Amino acid sequence: MFKTIDKYIFKELLSPFLYSLLVLTIIFLVNFLIRAMDRILGKGLSIWVILEYVFLNLAWIVAIAVPLSVLVAVLLAYGRLATDHEVTAMRSAGLSLPRIMVPALAFAILVGSFTLYFNTSILPDVNHRARLLGSDIYRKRPDMDIVPGYFIDDLPDYNIRVNEVTENGLKGVVIFSKSDQREQVSIFAERGRTHTAGGQIIFTLYNGEKHLLDLDKMDDYQREYFDSTRITVQVNDLELKRRESAVRGDREMTPAMMYERIAENRLRYDRTIERMNSILFNSPIFNGDSTVDVVALMDTLKRVPVSDEAAIDARDRLWNRTIDKLESQERLVNSYMKQVNKYLVEIHKKYSIAVTCIVFVLVGVPLGIMTRKSSGTIGVAMGMFFIFWAALLAGEELADRRIMDPIVAMWAPNTIMAIAGIWISFQVSRERTVINLLWLKTVLNPFNWRLFGLKKYLTK
């Protein structure tokens, strides 16, 4: 049972945790809305659709904000206790630093358990729904999604490319009929503009030429010049249409779903290896020996003197066919293993983020006592989190490329930080100064990273 001191510290942690979670969620949400503004505005969406889209994207924001909120809460709570000399009083009463950390560990385990359930059971489905809704919003009113230099094939009858989009309209407009149309139309215009009316998109084009060709009458070719003309396109997607899809990415799957995919890819991997062995056994070049070093064999064969040119050509053709087959199968093997690594990375990332709540306590408690309550505490917390998150993303990239084992990649940041936290706690429990506080606040505070030339890079 919790004692009075445990309840007291637990309450000290709860308030800053909730406050930090709210503030960080708002910060991340505002950043998301700024980036998604061009996708939402001008689409004629109802307020309920916009709210649903924002609510669905809150899920991944909360998943990021919760561990960081734990770190901020621990730093603030234990910093205040150290500032008011309450930590000193507890230690004078015979409580060791590990005992003082118990309420924070219990708090982190509670929050981490919720995070684990949320990441593995709720987040995948919400991510799936958010992706589908975002895709549906993107398809609504394709006239709003003109990207200069790229062909737009969302319209039913035409492909369109625009060189430049300005406040006054479009420049360098090229319109082609789709290949399944019997009457082929090609239009080139210096400039133009678009507007919608009912279920139509109307392109008004200026200073150009139109080419017409009837595929049933190939000799009936027409070329017209125009000062202005209009193209009317019937569009069915001016109203938002909701779709369902069973296809899910790795971030939209539960661990059970991903383990099924891993088993499928490993089975395909084994079958591909069997096919490679079969190619080796059946090839007269390898003489049924599957243990031959391919590189050494290639070098040997090239040095074998053969007098008959026809025999040389036959040998080379046979060699090339065999190598092509093996390389094709090798590409499949690499593809299957990359898929396995991708799913393993996502599985262990979900678990490691939940455990991060506990790791941040091991680091945060001694640092909170050392730094005490100060204006740099939040900066220290955010700096530590950014470093941790950068290490996690780097590990994910290395694991996806099969450079690092997925388990090592996802658990290395937690392991290193936990070891560092235990070491710092050991030193703090013996009242040793192991870190220069001014240096710590300067290095870990992201607002000071301009000193190292990193601010511009991080704000891109």
Q: Return averaged pLDDT per consecutive 10 residues of the chain, 460 residues in all.
A: 78 91 90 79 74 89 91 88 85 84 92 93 90 75 63 72 81 79 80 73 85 70 81 62 70 90 90 81 58 48 52 63 76 85 90 92 85 62 78 85 87 89 81 55 52 39
- SS3 of residue 415 by DSSP: helix
Instruction: Please say whether the beta carbons of 201 and 192 come within 8 A.
Output: no
51 within domain boundaries: no
Placement of tokens 């009936």 in the chain: 220
Separation CA 418–CA 26 (nearest Å) = 29
Is 404 contained in some domain?
no
pLDDT of amino acid 240: 56
Name the residue range of residue 163's domain: 143-234
pLDDT given for residue 352 in this prediction: 92
Residue 449's pLDDT is 47
Q: Would you state the pLDDT for residue 426?
A: 81
Task: Give, for 430, the enclosing helix (H) or strand (E).
Answer: none
- With CA atoms as reference, report the closest residue to 67 among 133, 115, 106: 115
- Please give the pLDDT value at position 19: 92
Helix (H, G, I), strand (E, B) or coil at 193: strand
pLDDT at 459: 38
Tell me whether residue 174 is in a domain.
yes
Domain membership of residue 229 (yes or no) is yes
- Give the pLDDT score at 288: 47
Classify residue 340: in a domain, yes or no: no
**pLDDT value of position 300:** 52
Rounded CA separation 160/153 (Å): 7
Q: What confidence tens digit (pLDDT) does each residue in 296-354 have?
A: 554 555 555 545 555 556 556 667 777 777 777 788 888 888 888 889 999 999 999 99
Distance CA 385, CA 367 (A): 14
The total number of structural domains in the chain stands at: 1
Whether 70 maps to a domain, the answer reads no
- pTM here is 0.67
Q: Is residue 362 part of a domain?
A: no
Is 122 within a domain?
Answer: no
Those residues whose C-beta lies under 8 Å from the C-beta of residue 415, and which sit 6 or more positions away, are none
- Give the pLDDT score at 294: 46
Q: Contact at 8 Å (CB) between 220 and 206?
A: no
